[in-house]
Amino acid sequence: MNKRLTILLTNDDGFHADGIKILYSELIKKFNVIVVAPEHEKSGVGHAFTFNNPLHYVKTEDCESFKGYIVNGTPADCVKFAIGHLLSKKPDIVVSGINNGENSGLSAFYSGTVAAAREGAFWNIPSFAFSVCSEAFNYASDYATIVPSIIEHILSSDNQSSFPRTYYNINFPACSLADVKNTKITWQSLAFFDDHYKKIESKAHKSGEGFVVYGEKKDVENSDAFDSRALINKSITITPLTFDSTAHHAIPHLLKIENGDFLRGDI
């Protein structure tokens, strides 16, 4: 790549989080980087965005290790607001992360980190979400060193015009970079979250109590062709995603009712 591309960098852990600082320090070596990130942590907000309330931002000239824009919104807000207002032209790439905690499988639907990459793909921009298992976050700096190469290899190998609006969910396993087994191109796991809620004391409500979610993935696929299993097996996983959620396999079975009499109650 001869042209120095521009990256819009965001996250869901907040503008001042360690992960985004670590990633910025590596990306700036090869790319122009503009940081637009949430004012506060927005983990688990999915693709929520601000609709009926105004957004606010602060442009910082010197905030610790980088300059950028602090937005009082979600990760999706940051990408949408950056492209729609803050920036004079669309970035070449959107990058989200590095997140403290993996986002494989169904986690991607809940993740603000992945949602930021999805929002970038909405705008037809090649977009990437990077996450590392919490147990290995102390190795985040090591993993960040290979992020520019991952981006470059994907952009050079994928035909963006043939596969538009694709975004990439990359997860780093719970081990050091030296102990990584391999890199796997994976399917998204559909393992179910067996979630429950635990009662705790809480001053945030007049009742004095609240409930926090806990649980784990159940029925993780045995094959490391799926991201959750491959991650468990110490692989770096790269999962290409898109946002067509149509259940294509169901359409042929439903066509027979397309002109049916169900509006009259007939079966």
Per-residue pLDDT tens digits for 137-149: 999 999 999 999 9
- Provide, for the chain, the percentages of residues in helix, strand and coil under a 3-state DSSP scheme, each rounded to the nearest 5: 30, 30, 40
The pLDDT value recorded for residue 158 is: 60
Which SS3 state, helix, strand or coil, does residue 106 take? coil
Using CA atoms, how far apart are residues 184 and 49, in angstroms rounded to an integer?
A: 32
Percentage of the chain beyond pLDDT 90 is 75
pLDDT of residue 5: 96
The whole-angstrom separation of Cα 221 and Cα 57 is: 43
Q: Which two tokens stand for residue 138?
A: 């102390």
Asked if 199 and 153 count as a contact pair (C-beta separation under 8 A), the reply is: no
pLDDT of residue 9: 98
pLDDT digits (tens, 9 = 90+) for 205-257: 889 999 888 888 888 999 999 999 999 999 999 999 998 889 999 999 888 88
Distance CA 44, CA 193 (A): 14
User: Which regions of the chain does DSSP assign to beta strands (E)?
Assistant: 6-10, 32-38, 57-63, 66-71, 93-100, 127-132, 167-172, 182-185, 192-193, 196-201, 209-214, 217-218, 235-241
- Distance (Å, rounded) from C-alpha 131 to C-alpha 146? 13
Tokens of 160: 């963006």
How much is the pLDDT for 254? 87
Task: Collect all residues with Cβ–Cβ distance below 8 Å to 7 and sequence separation of at least 6.
Answer: 27, 31, 32, 33, 34, 91, 92, 93, 94, 95
> For the chain, which ranges sit under pLDDT 70?
1-2, 62-65, 158-163, 260-267
- Distances in Å between the Cα of 134 and the Cα atoms of 107, 121, 169, 185, 227 are 14, 26, 16, 21, 16
Burial class (CB in 10 A: 0-12, 13-18, 19+), 205: exposed
What mean pLDDT value characterizes the chain? Answer: 91
Residues 192, 197, 203, CA angle at the centre, nearest 5°? Answer: 145
Q: What angle do CA 181, 217, 107 make, to 5 degrees?
A: 80
pLDDT score for 265: 63
Q: Are 8 and 94 in contact (CB under 8 A)?
A: yes
Sketch out the chain's domains with CATH numbers: 6-190+221-264 (3.40.1210.10)
pLDDT at 260: 67
Contact of 241 with 118, CB cutoff 8 Å: yes
- Which residues face 9 on adjacent strands? 35, 95
Residue type, 58: V
- Per-residue CA distances from 114 to 121, 212, 218, 240 (Å): 11, 23, 21, 11
Pairing of strands 32-38, 6-10: parallel
